[in-house]
Structure 1
Amino acid sequence: MKKYLTRFVLFFVAIIFLVSIVSLYLLPTSGDIIHEKESPYQTIYISEANGIRRMHVGSLLDRSSAMDLNDPYRHVYEYTGMMMLVSGYVDAPKKILVVGLGGGTVTRTLRMIYPDAEITNVEFDPEIVAMARQYFGYAEDAKMKLVVEDARRWLRRTTEQFDVILLDAYHGGYIPFHLTTREFLEIVRERLSPGGVVCSNTWTNQALADRESATYHAVFGGFHHYIGKWSTNRIIVAAPSNLPSPEEVRSRIVELEVARKPERLDLKGMFDNLFESNPTWPASTKILTDDHAPVNLLKDEK
């Protein structure tokens, strides 16, 4: 009995030690937290360590946005660079919509690539906007506007159409369910101009990815996706009309890199390494609907 008790104690101590070590890598220390704010919806933290400033929404484990203070155009997180692959699907977009602001990394890069485009940002939490302005240098310009409102409500009300719609809204580590469903994507489809595309930042978790794939296919038909190499992010690109071939997408990306030379982005390298053709999912997969979209549970399901 004493032998088994000793083993149990040693096992328990080992678990505590392992959790402590992992926490050192995952969480910023208390000295790194430079701002904490309660919004009407969530707690927002700003941390800073080793020249990297991060925004955490809802939990310190969340890493919504990051900026290299010495090189603001460098993409600290893989997914923000991946979203720029949408540039291979549309030539010189005139109107771009970004749903979800975070620290403004996506918007900042879009402005660099498309200096003449009209960009609309939609963010539902005013405190995130305030933090983006104060700590990440976000600011509108003459061709950029900000809407502080729930994206679905605003999209349903507006009559504007966009050449590119980027979906990057998260809450507590997952996409709010009402921004994942067939009904929402049908609204998005209506707000795309002829030849327009939607680009969505999602997860690779199999159960959720299958449901998202089935849902996007139900609304748009075929789609392309890119799987993160260093992250669990998956970028979906879809359109009401036929998407260009992978060869056409790559050609446009190469032309863009030659013409615009977007800083800190290897779009061709990302395309070559992250593009996956012919996404598949079980035929019995149910789509996400307003009546049933348990994305918070599916995200952690294998």
Structure 2
Amino acid sequence: MTHRARTRPAPHGDHPEPPPNQGRLSPLFAELCGRQSSPVVPVVPVVHEGLRTRTLCFGTLGAVQTTMRKSDPYALQLPYTRAMMAFQLFQPRPAHILIVGLGGGSLSKYCHRRFPEALVTTVEIDERVIALRD
């Protein structure tokens, strides 16, 4: 017996409805679907210099994007960045690596050092993040 998931047609043409009660996700979902949403205050990337670390945050509340230890700038400090490199278990010598989003550059730096023969391409849409790279 074959089971098929029931889907309801998306209102407004091909655009699905945003998930209910998703807070910040709703405006993003609307933008991705090409709909108008309520005005969203742009989130500004900010670099915080500490004694031993440099941290890239988004917004004044400090949603941490990445952290770099100044004594070891190539190390991956945050657990999610280490988890993203788990692909090495399945592809220990990649020829090409695509990183979507520069952030603080942790993944790009790590990949350039760890895989010197690989072509590492990093794509970033926000020019404010690119401007912070130096």
Q: Same fold (TM over 0.5)?
A: yes
If asked which structure has higher relative contact order (CA below 8 Å, sep 6+), I would say 1
Q: What corresponds to 2:66 in structure 1?
A: 65
Taking the TM superposition and a 5 Å limit, the aligned residue runs for 1:103-252 are 103-132=104-133, 134=134
The aligned amino acid for 1:131 is: L
Partners of 2:78 and 2:49 in 1: how far apart? 15
Whether the aligned pair in 1 keeps the contact of 2:46 and 2:58 (CA below 8 Å) is: yes
Taking the TM superposition and a 5 Å limit, the aligned residue runs for 1:276-295 are none
Whether the aligned pair in 2 keeps the contact of 1:44 and 1:55 (CA below 8 Å) is: yes
Q: CA deviation at 1:42?
A: 2.6
Kindly indicate which of the two structures has a greater share of residues assigned to helix. Answer: 1
Partners of 1:80 and 1:112 in 2: how far apart? 15
Partners of 1:43 and 1:91 in 2: how far apart? 36
Q: CA deviation at 1:60?
A: 3.0
SS of residue matched to 1:64: strand
List runs of 5+ in structure 1 lacking aligned partners.
Answer: 1-40, 135-302
SS of residue matched to 2:64: coil
The aligned amino acid for 2:118 is: A
Residues 96/113 of structure 1: CA separation in 2 closer, same or farther (3 Å cut): same
The TM-score with structure 2 as length reference comes to: 0.63
Q: CA deviation at 1:91?
A: 4.0
Residues 52/89 of structure 1: CA separation in 2 closer, same or farther (3 Å cut): same
User: What's the RMSD between the two structures over aligned residues?
Assistant: 1.8
Partners of 1:72 and 1:110 in 2: how far apart? 12
Partners of 2:60 and 2:97 in 1: how far apart? 30
Q: What corresponds to 1:45 in structure 2?
A: 46
Q: Which has the larger radius of gyration?
A: 1
Percent identity, aligned pairs only, is 30
Partners of 2:119 and 2:126 in 1: how far apart? 22
Q: CA deviation at 1:81?
A: 1.4
Q: CA deviation at 1:117?
A: 0.7
Partners of 1:53 and 1:116 in 2: how far apart? 28
Residues 91/45 of structure 1: CA separation in 2 closer, same or farther (3 Å cut): closer
List runs of 5+ in structure 2 lacking aligned partners.
Answer: 1-41
The TM-score with structure 1 as length reference comes to: 0.29
